Amino acid sequence: MQEKPAIVWFRSDLRLRDNPAIINAVKSKKPLIFLYIYSNSSDASFQEGGKEKEWIFHSLTSLEKDLRGKKARLVFRMGDAASALSDLIDETCADQIFANAEYDPFLVKRDRKIKMALAARRVQVSFFHGNLLINPFEMMHISEKPIKELSKFIAILDQYFRPEKPLDAPRIFLLYSKKPFSVGIQKIEISFDFAKYWMAGESAAQNKLKSEDGIISPHLNTGEVSPRDLWHRSDRQEELKIREFAYHLLIFFPESPYRPIQNEFLRFPWIHNLHFIASWQKGKTGYPIIDAAMRELLSSGYISDDHRQITATFFVKNLLLPWQEGASWFMDHLVDADLACNTYHWQQVVGSMDSLTELIDPALMSKRSDPYGNYIRKFVPELSNFPLEYIHMPWNAPKELLDSCSYPARIVDLEDSKYRALRAFNQLKDEK
């Protein structure tokens, strides 16, 4: 009779290379079952948006193919994770589960409950930190309390940690001999022209790794590539340290996706203006650089770090809209939506509220980031015929030119927005 099997439970680690859950499962010498669960909506803080879902669909297709190449099968189940695991254990008598940890606060709680419930059934659940450079709790052990400043975090990281070398994918697996029921890969409704922009999967991620300027974040987000692989095989170490810090904040400030880390901003008089929110979301603010970036987000699911910074700052500081709404829109529309990185940056924008010199002038930012106006012309076709002198500030264009296109007027005047922001911030200080 075959030994009791172990389950490798894939989550945000859709890869075979440098995957500690897989390596440890192989080391256990047990026959393996590979599992992916389409969890239901109550399982996480944020549900994946359509574009991220589509990425996961393509990534799973690729993972399934890679596993088939090693004669293994990927079992797909649906429903809440606890029940799906419990059913599979009933059917197969599996007595060990290997997985890489998740850090969304809801998933942390869920996983803790699952581990306890299964321990009572004598099923051992082991989680590994395969999606981070280092074990976040070892860092906490050194710092003794959660760290709020990036520079301090990096100083400790540099002094005490050397991210381990990535591990090769196992060449062969010992497999469970029976074929547990699988619902198969769930087709999803196509929400955008995915193939025009992206290629998902571990091989695509490895190819990106070889090119210096390829966008890697969606691959990292689905776990098609590990941060340790990136650390050792690219020159993105500084960026990865910021990512690691973002995870530190999410783990040790689990309310941060909703609650400002700096308490005084709980009292900030945000303005709930639905017209402003909708104009920003759809790229109709009347500020070309903001609109171009927000429309790029809608079409491709990605915008550069600079454009994320500009659009988020405009949302928070110029429009005084509640930052959680902007963060949530990004989570819904980014292909690389990552609760830790996204929360960290939106919190950063709010935390720098006192430096209103950073209240952005979109026209100035636009001239800097898009000196010839090509980016704007690509994503804001209404302005494609505008000469360079007006492309960043169409409101200064002659009336005939403006009337000839359907580009919206600015939703706020810059001077007004500066005045409102100062007043709101002073109100906060006065209440201290």
Do residues 29 and 172 touch, judged by C-beta distance below 8 A?
Answer: no
Give the residue with the Cβ less far from ligand FAD, 330 or 375.
330
Amino acid at 263: N
Closest approach, Cβ 286 to ligand FAD, in A, equals: 21
**x/- map, 409-428, ligand FAD, by CB under 6 A:** --------------------
CA distances (Å), 251 to each of 46, 64, 105, 396, in order? 15, 31, 7, 48
Q: What are phi and psi of 311, to 5 degrees?
A: -70, -35
Q: What are phi and psi of 164, to 5 degrees?
A: -65, 160
Give the residue with the Cβ less far from ligand FAD, 221 or 417.
221
Do residues 359 and 317 touch, judged by C-beta distance below 8 A?
Answer: yes
CA atoms of 179 and 209, how far apart (whole Å): 35
Residues 204, 341, 334, 280, CA torsion sign: negative
Residues 303-342 that bind ligand FAD (CB under 6 A): 304-305, 308-309, 312, 330, 334, 336-338, 341-342
For the beta sheet containing 6-10, the strands, ordered from the edge strand earlier in sequence to the opposite edge, are 74-78, 32-38, 6-10, 96-100, 124-128
CB atoms within 10 A of CB 112: 12
Residues 335-374 that bind ligand FAD (CB under 6 A): 336-338, 341-342, 345-346
Give the residue with the Cβ less far from ligand FAD, 64 or 224.
224
CA atoms of 277 and 283, how far apart (whole Å): 10
Closest approach, Cβ 161 to ligand FAD, in A, equals: 17
Q: Which range of residues in 41-49, 71-79, 210-218, 272-280 is near ligand FAD by CB under 6 A? A: 210-218
Give the residue with the Cβ less far from ligand FAD, 96 or 226.
226
Do residues 60 and 201 touch, judged by C-beta distance below 8 A?
Answer: no
Q: Does 154 bind ligand FAD (CB under 6 A)?
A: no
DSSP 3-state assignment of 201? coil
Among 12, 221, 347, 366, binds ligand FAD (CB under 6 A): 221
Residues 270-309 that bind ligand FAD (CB under 6 A): 304-305, 308-309
Give the residue with the Cβ less far from ligand FAD, 54 or 64.
54
Amino acid at 383: L
Q: Does 241 bind ligand FAD (CB under 6 A)?
A: no
Q: Does 52 bind ligand FAD (CB under 6 A)?
A: no
Give the residue with the Cβ less far from ligand FAD, 238 or 403.
238
Give the residue with the Cβ less far from ligand FAD, 304 or 396.
304
* Burial of 217 from C-beta contacts in 10 A (0-12 / 13-18 / 19+): middle
Give the Cα-Cα-Cα angle 385, 386, 387 (nearest 5 degrees).
115
Q: Does 248 bind ligand FAD (CB under 6 A)?
A: no
User: What are the structure tokens assigned to 195, written together?
Assistant: 């193939």
Closest to 5 (Cα-Cα) out of 122, 94, 133 = 94
Q: Does 242 bind ligand FAD (CB under 6 A)?
A: yes
Give the residue with the Cβ less far from ligand FAD, 302 or 407.
302
Closest approach, Cβ 230 to ligand FAD, in A, equals: 6
Q: Residues interacting with ligand FAD, by CB under 6 A?
A: 215-217, 220-221, 236, 239-240, 242-243, 246, 304-305, 308-309, 312, 330, 334, 336-338, 341-342, 345-346
